[in-house]
Amino acid sequence: MSTDDDDDLHPHKGTQSRNIGDVGYGRPPRKHRFKPGQSGNPRGRPKGRKSENQMLEELLSRMMTIREGNRVRKISLREVIYRGIAEEAVKKKNLKAASFLFDRSALLKSAQPEHRQLTEDDKTVLGAYAKKFLSAAHNEDGNDD
């Protein structure tokens, strides 16, 4: 975008003759164009400023006090929202709310690694690797027993 030959951004391409110093859509005056290697945001995001993701996570993690019968509990805002959606699904028979909860549950389950028991072959391979690793570490320490 810093060369004068960029006709792709000019909305009236070919409708009028262009001069080298033309100014218009996608063509700021030469003195205001970025120089080669110059960033459009030289200072970047200020340090200490929170990203939107950080702000949202802090907000949803904020603890709130709720009352359940005679019991008072502190739960996160995230849980308060999930409880509200669940109540909406049950009390008002809101299928969208129920669908959201089921979809969210499936997504969270699929994101968790599957835990399974090690087979005997797995244990044999891991044992051999551990012996090899420990003997290599032992030899690097200069202990040649």
Range of the domain at 21: 1-35
Residue 138 lies in a domain: no
Same domain, 30 and 68: no
Three-class DSSP category at 44: coil
Q: Can you name the residues that pair with 65 across neighbouring β-strands?
A: 74
Tens digit of pLDDT for each residue in 104-130?
999 988 887 777 788 888 888 888 888
Residue 106 lies in a domain: yes
How would you label 78-95 residue by residue, b for 16+ Cβ within 10 Å and e otherwise? eeeebeebeebbeeeeee
Same domain, 31 and 68: no
Tens digit of pLDDT for each residue in 73-104?
999 999 999 999 999 999 999 999 999 999 99
Number of domains the chain contains:
2
